[in-house]
């Protein structure tokens, strides 16, 4: 039987989502917990990867098991067994062919920037103290909307067949000292959101112009874009699936 698990986690102490040889990823911790509680070897497939230190409000993974799962009971047992910085939110049965990565049709991220030094936000937002022209950053973000080749914002070594993404939302929101970038797309490339934020900060700080930002996208050259914004400000916030995958 195949199940979809909804998960959230604080990424501060993990080297991203994926299993790694010499570091601890969220996937490894969760696979170990589920395998122990269900008393069978369980491998899980996530809706996507997150980098070291990136946080997750909502992500999904699928897992196959020979056991009949009582969702409420297993959620309680898993959350008692897992570390405090990882939580399972829901478990639902899905069709045998449902895939957590390939069936997702929309993903959303937020990137949080604090404009003042705040000890309570260390590890949860990027402290950026330089002056920013948020209006121009908003204009530049609007260019991202629609279907474009985003190779300039992708990690160089990646296993994708193409760099086309359809961005449905790209906007800044400021509330007090917190500046938040919201972005939604059908898919994201590795490192894409952090590269976009880093480049938009270059626009806002005057390091590059609005026109240069446009040229960077057309260039398809990662070297033309800005540095990746630090991981601690990034949150995967939502993943959507078609109703047809559920039983």
Question: Active-site residue numbers?
Answer: 51
Concatenating the DSSP letter of every residue in 64-82 gives E-SSPP-HHHHHHHHHHHS
Under DSSP, is residue 47 helix (H, G, I), strand (E, B) or coil? coil
Q: Is the torsion defined by CA of 82, 87, 93, 94 positive or negative? A: negative
Neighbour tally for 218: CB within 10 Å = 11
Look up tokens 């000890």; give the residue: 119
- Do residues 7 and 91 make contact, with C-beta atoms less than 8 angstroms apart? no
φ/ψ (deg, to 5) at 120: -75, -10
């Amino acid at each position: 039987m195949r199940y979809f698990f909804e998960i959230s986690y604080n990424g501060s102490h993990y080297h991203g989502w994926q299993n790694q040889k010499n570091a601890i990823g969220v996937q490894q911790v969760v696979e170990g917990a589920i395998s122990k509680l269900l008393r069978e070897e369980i491998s899980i497939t996530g809706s996507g990867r997150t980098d070291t230190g990136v946080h997750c409000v909502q992500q999904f993974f699928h897992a196959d098991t020979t056991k009949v799962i009582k969702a409420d009971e297993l959620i309680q047992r898993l959350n008692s067994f897992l570390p405090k910085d990882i939580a399972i939110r829901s478990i639902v049965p899905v069709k045998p062919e449902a895939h957590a990565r390939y069936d997702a049709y929309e993903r959303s991220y937020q990137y949080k920037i604090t404009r003042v030094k705040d000890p309570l936000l260390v590890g949860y937002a990027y402290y950026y103290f330089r002056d920013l022209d948020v209006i121009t950053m908003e204009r530049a973000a609007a260019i991202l909307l629609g279907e474009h080749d985003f190779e300039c914002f992708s990690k160089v070594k990646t296993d994708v067949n193409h760099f086309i993404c359809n961005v449905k939302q790209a906007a800044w929101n400021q509330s007090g000292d917190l500046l938040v970038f919201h972005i939604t797309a059908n898919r994201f490339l590795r490192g894409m959101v952090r590269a976009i934020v880093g480049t938009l900060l270059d626009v806002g700080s005057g390091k590059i112009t609005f026109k240069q930002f446009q040229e960077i996208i057309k260039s398809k050259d990662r070297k033309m874009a800005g540095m990746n914004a630090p991981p601690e400000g990034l949150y995967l916030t939502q993943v959507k699936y078609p109703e047809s995958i559920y039983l």
